[in-house]
Amino acid sequence: MTLYDYPDCPFANKVRIVLAEKDLEFETVIVDLKNNQQRGPDFLRINPFGKVPVLIDEDCVIYESSIIIEYLNDEYPHPPDLLPEDSADKARVRLLADFADRAFTLPAMAVERELAQAEADENKLQTARGVVGKTLAMLERELASKEYLAGEFSLADIAFAPVALQLNRYGVSLDSSLANVKAWTARLAERPSVGSVLKLVA
């Protein structure tokens, strides 16, 4: 099994978390995004969209992080199964994971891109951070009386984890109104699978 990734990419990091949860051995090929290696002909033959991560498992080539983590959970269901048994609960986890990608990870990456500019656009920063803040408020409600988003640790938590545990990097802090989120991020950080990935980007 081979994972094409970039250590600083949140989408690649959620795949690494699943691989760690499943205790799967894999080789890593680093794709240097800063030098546009993802746009080179060799990589485009693997993923025509020119994005990481990409997973190759024997003859199976999979890209898009959400599809990769679903594949890993289906192909290697134990240990542990990272989706609930009930169909409605599964759908809810998938909705939350998709929401994490669109309304949490992408805005956080937009903040990071703006901060990398010589002169950051404050309006763009405030807008992107505002989206992240609204998602944190949603998570606070979702986590009421629960340890994890689906009760048990699942693909939903994994989708949020790479950004949720590095909020200071994006200039976002957890205030007293986000007690549930604070407790949840502490639980996430204690999981060996999540901790091992965080060390890569520390």
Domains observed in the chain: 2-75 (3.40.30.10), 87-191+194-198 (1.20.1050.10)
Global pTM value: 0.93
- Look up tokens 């080789």; give the residue: 27
* 147 — pLDDT class (breaks 50, 70, 90): very high
Strands (DSSP E) contained in 31-75 are 54-57, 60-63
Please give the pLDDT value at position 202.
54
pLDDT, mean of residues 166-173: 90
pLDDT, mean of residues 146-163: 96
* 162 — pLDDT class (breaks 50, 70, 90): very high
* Percent of the chain clearing pLDDT 70 (strictly above): 98
Q: In which element (H, E) is residue 187 found?
A: helix 179-190
Q: What is the pLDDT of residues 109-143, one digit of tens each?
A: 999 999 988 888 899 999 999 999 999 999 999 99
Please give the pLDDT value at position 79.
83
Calpha distance 11→53 (Å, rounded): 7
What are the counts of helices (DSSP H) followed by strands (DSSP E) for the chain? 9, 4
Q: What is the pLDDT of residues 32-52, one digit of tens each?
A: 998 999 999 999 999 999 999
Burial of 21-43, coded b for 16+ CB within 10 Å and e otherwise, reads bbeeebeeeebebeeebbeeeeb
Mean of the per-residue pLDDT values of the chain: 93
Calpha distance 159→157 (Å, rounded): 5
